Amino acid sequence: MESIINKATILIEALPYIQRLRGKTIVIKYGGNAMGNDAVTQSIMQDITLLKYVGMNPIVVHGGGPEISKMLDALAIKSSFYKGLRITDKAAIDIVQMVLVGKINKEIVSILNSLGGRAVGLCGKDGNLIEVEKMPPVDGIDLGYVGEIKRINPNLLELLAKDEYIPVVSPIGIGPDGQSYNINADTVAGSIAWALKAEKLIFLTDIDGIRRNPADPSSLISVITAANAVELIELGIINGGMIPKVSGCIEAIKNGVNYAHIVNGTIIHPIVLEIFTDKGIGTMMTE
């Protein structure tokens, strides 16, 4: 009986959050190390399906860096990074698009649909969803077919998300000449969130959130303002691969997204634990 009561208590704790978020758009960035465990992946897809069934409008943006690297290595195509961005030549962009759009995107769609969702796979070329230009050289380094977002055309996403569908977006953009460009998935998620004025933007990553001391898990910051996050970047406390995620959160908050979250996506049911419980498990950014 005690176990049953505990389950009921958990459901009641979630009730005000479900009421508050009903009808709201939630953009979820899923990728990288959060993709590495089948059981965790299944639980994340269950979380996303649950959001849809209780009346929210989830939109998934996925990455896939490790799988891209694995495929490039198998084909003996050299690949390197500069400041967290993959240098993408002509040979590499074809593989990047194949892995992201043809493999990972469809795998996510299939899992969501098997759970009762109605997922639809998209990339930035569909309906000119993500218009880009070639990113200019960074510190004199030509990044190749890496895109800089110029415009998000959200109409297609809005039509799908506000209906019964779950859009799943690959971070491939389209240039003025129809050329495909690779885009950082964190940047895509942030840009889509503020283009849609989403209620929440959630980054699933491999650490618990933003820490005052990156080496100390107990220094997790549960709630932070965008201004304080900027200070931590300037101080070097937020660094490396966390910078695109935190910067994406900051830009989203500045552009009308109400809340942005950085959550450990390597544990079971991270989305439910973060947004349906009083304490949460990661870092929530506010204005």
> How far apart, in whole angstroms, are the C-alpha atoms of residue 111 and residue 49?
10
> What one-character DSSP code corresponds to residue 145?
S
In the predicted model, is pLDDT for residue 118 greater than 70?
A: yes
Going from the C-alpha of 192 to that of each of 52, 130, 153, 189, 257, the distances in angstroms are: 18, 9, 9, 5, 10
In the predicted model, is pLDDT for residue 235 greater than 90?
A: yes
Per-residue pLDDT averaged across 225-253, rounded?
A: 90
Q: Judge contact between 222 and 284, C-beta under 8 A.
A: yes
The whole-chain average pLDDT of the chain stands at: 92
Determine the pLDDT at residue 284. Answer: 96
pLDDT band at 225 (very low <50, low <70, confident <90, very high): very high
In the block, tokens 């993709």 appear at: 35
**pLDDT tens for each residue of 170-223:** 999 999 999 999 999 989 999 999 999 999 999 998 888 999 998 898 999 999
Considering only 74-83, 107-116, 213-222, which range has the smallest mean pLDDT?
74-83
Q: What is the 3-state secondary structure (H, E, C) of 6-26?
A: HHHHHHHHHHHHHHHHCCCEE
| Domains observed in the chain | 23-286 (3.40.1160.10)
The strand order across the sheet containing 130-134 reads: 147-152, 130-134, 172-174, 180-182
Determine the pLDDT at residue 33. Answer: 65
